[in-house]
Amino acid sequence: MATVGKDLSQYDKSSLPDATNMRIGIVVSEWNDNITENLFKGAQETLLDCGIDAQSIFRMNVPGSFELIYGCKNMQHTSYPVKNSKLRKDLDAIIAIGNVIRGETAHFDFVCQGVTSGIKDLNLNSSRIPVIFCVLTDDTHAQSVARSGGVHGNKGSEAAVAAIKMAAIKQKF
């Protein structure tokens, strides 16, 4: 198991790029909201801790994990207000937060494959704004709890760190 012995919330802030002027979008699935809200909190707390202003974090809710793709695509093609200005700018990165728990049918496989492929396609084909995959695809609810603020930390925090790093890469080009 990839998370055994690893705390998903740990990061070395001093090794991260300067994030103070970054603008991050977060698309959150409402399905399994007890998990996705914890992932959102982990991401938000990390972004704030790394110097991103609360007014530079933009949230959109979507019904389920499959709808994350559409939400992220819309965020990629929308400009957002700049703090204390009449200007609007694109985002520097987007985090897609969702949770799919294996059930008794093949639905799990279809949703996981679709979301994974959709977010990959957004990164390859859509815009210059990177989309970070923060969709827990676990066998049990307990596994999701462990990765959304439980014993393994918070995958939302890990996704926020990835968003900062990818936004810095984007800013170089």
**Residues designated catalytic:** 107
Give the count of beta carbons closer than 10 Å to the beta carbon of residue 101: 17
Cβ–Cβ < 8 Å for 91, 129:
yes
User: CA-CA distance, 83 to 18, in Å (whole number)?
Assistant: 18
CA distances from 17 to 13, 24, 71, 133, 173 (A): 8, 14, 26, 20, 15
Cβ–Cβ < 8 Å for 76, 122:
yes
